[in-house]
């Protein structure tokens, strides 16, 4: 229950926090391969309807209904637990909250884009091989990573001839019509795997064992994504050595800096535009530091910026944990919630209801930091101080 409450009151701005994800298709597939399907998405509505229907048959683009990625990122996935009426109500609210934040719509768009890239690349490789051409070692390696070898490519090419379609250079397979079940399931699983790697969707293998317990989930809530990014983007990207990883990483850090500016503006905080600070914030908000950014932020919060990366760069502490107290930074948002309740109780009993107490009351409210409501609530908060 506490984790659902934390989700509803704290992740209203998660869509803005996810803007660096836009660099992932470029990082994974290269600039040219990523931008051509994107232009198709934006200009050819008819072709997109056909391709979207095809991808939905693979289970891609269903976030608006399922809200699965939002729940995994917020550590709410526990499908086998028994629930009371209150817990079922919170579960329903959490699912709808993903739509209110526009996170589900954003994720659907990103997954559709990534699915178009992957499907088209696999089918083009299959057609190249079928026509007597050859693939580069890099292409063979990438295809092997998603479970497709050269013999399977030839079988895919055969199915594409009978059921596929060329949408002005963008290939779609209509794989749900394929009569070879093994080829159909292998192709769909390959596309789905690559989409989940590109638009990082954490899995059970991405998190430490301690997060399997209820206490671990509470203490480590909202950290799942950083563990997954470390495994699926940072480590795998460095190992691949592709140029696309490095220029994609630069774009992702730039988008992370944009997130910092937008978040600071929404919260009514001053924006530090010094280059060193923008780079530091970009690294933090982009997730390019992986889980290594988490102990750094905790250390900066507890030391007031005396130690950590900010001290090295010579700027203020990282902004991502500014709204949490020391206990909350160390032990997660549920313990931060306890600190807010303590502030409010102390203020009521002492008759001193100042800035800190007003801020604590706001942080208890569901939907309080939805990115389109937050500026209005900032004004209300200022009036109450």
The CB-side HSE value for 157 (13 A sphere, CA atoms) comes to 16
Domain stop point among 294, 321, 348: 321
Same domain, 313 and 340: no
Q: Which residues 6+ apart lie within 8 Å of 13 measured at CB?
A: 101, 263, 266, 369, 370, 371, 374
Same domain, 271 and 358: no
H/E segment holding residue 116: helix 103-130
pLDDT at position 56: 92
pLDDT at position 185: 95
Contact between 186 and 152 under an 8 Å Cβ cutoff? The reply is yes
CA-atom Rg of the chain in angstroms: 23
Same domain, 19 and 127: yes
Q: What is the pLDDT of residues 221-254, one digit of tens each?
A: 988 888 899 888 888 888 888 889 999 999 999 9
pLDDT at position 160: 96
pLDDT at position 322: 67
Answer with the residue of higher pLDDT: 292 or 104.
104
Phi and psi at residue 129, to the nearest 5°:
-65, -40
Contact between 154 and 186 under an 8 Å Cβ cutoff? The reply is no
What is the total count of domains within the chain? 3
The arithmetic mean of pLDDT across residues 98-113, rounded, is 95
Please tell me the distance from the alpha carbon of residue 174 to that of residue 278, in angstroms, as a whole number.
45
Same domain, 256 and 166: no
Q: What is the pLDDT of residues 48-100, one digit of tens each?
A: 888 888 999 898 989 998 888 998 888 887 655 656 788 788 888 888 999 99
Same domain, 150 and 263: no
CA distances (Å), 311 to each of 263, 294, 315, in order?
Answer: 22, 16, 6
Same domain, 54 and 155: yes
pTM reported for the whole predicted model: 0.90
Please determine, for residue 144, whether its predicted confidence score (pLDDT) is greater than 90: yes
Contact between 281 and 255 under an 8 Å Cβ cutoff? The reply is no
Query: Which residue range(s) make up the domain with 93?
Result: 1-198
The arithmetic mean of pLDDT across residues 109-128, rounded, is 95
């Amino acid at each position: 229950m506490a984790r659902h409450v934390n989700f509803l009151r704290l992740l209203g701005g998660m869509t803005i926090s996810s803007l660096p994800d836009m660099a992932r298709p470029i990082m994974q597939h290269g600039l040219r391969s990523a931008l051509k399907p994107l232009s198709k998405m934006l200009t050819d509505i008819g072709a997109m309807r056909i391709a979207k229907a095809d991808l939905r048959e693979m289970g891609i683009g269903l976030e608006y209904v399922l809200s699965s990625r939002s729940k995994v990122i917020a550590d709410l996935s526990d499908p086998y637990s028994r629930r009371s009426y209150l817990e079922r109500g919170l579960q329903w609210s959490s699912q709808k909250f993903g739509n209110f934040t526009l996170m589900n719509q954003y994720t659907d768009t990103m997954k559709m884009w990534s699915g178009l890239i992957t499907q088209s690349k696999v089918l083009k490789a299959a057609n190249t091989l079928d026509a007597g051409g050859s693939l580069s070692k890099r292409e063979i390696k990438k295809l092997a990573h998603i479970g497709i070898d050269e013999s399977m490519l030839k079988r895919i090419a055969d199915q594409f001839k009978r059921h596929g379609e060329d949408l002005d250079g963008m290939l779609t397979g209509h794989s749900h019509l394929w009569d070879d079940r093994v080829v159909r399931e292998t192709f769909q699983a390959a596309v789905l795997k690559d989409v989940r790697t590109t638009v990082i969707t954490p899995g059970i293998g991405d998190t430490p064992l301690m997060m399997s317990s209820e206490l671990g989930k509470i203490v480590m809530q909202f950290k799942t994504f950083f563990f997954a990014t470390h495994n699926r983007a940072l480590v795998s990207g460095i190992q691949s050595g592709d140029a696309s990883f490095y220029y994609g990483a630069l774009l992702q850090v730039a988008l992370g800096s944009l997130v910092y500016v937008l978040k600071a503006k929404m919260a009514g905080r001053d924006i530090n535009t010094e280059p060193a600070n923008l780079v530091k914030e970009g690294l933090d908000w982009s997730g390019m530091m992986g889980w290594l950014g988490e102990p750094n932020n905790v250390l900066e919060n507890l030391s007031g910026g005396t130690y950590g990366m900010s001290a090295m760069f010579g700027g203020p502490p990282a902004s991502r944990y500014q709204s949490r107290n020391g206990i909350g930074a160390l032990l997660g948002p549920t313990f931060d919630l306890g600190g807010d309740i303590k502030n409010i109780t102390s203020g009521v009993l002492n008759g001193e209801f100042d800035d800190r107490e007003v801020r604590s009351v706001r942080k208890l409210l569901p939907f309080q930091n939805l990115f389109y409501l937050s500026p209005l609530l900032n004004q209300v908060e200022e009036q109450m101080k």
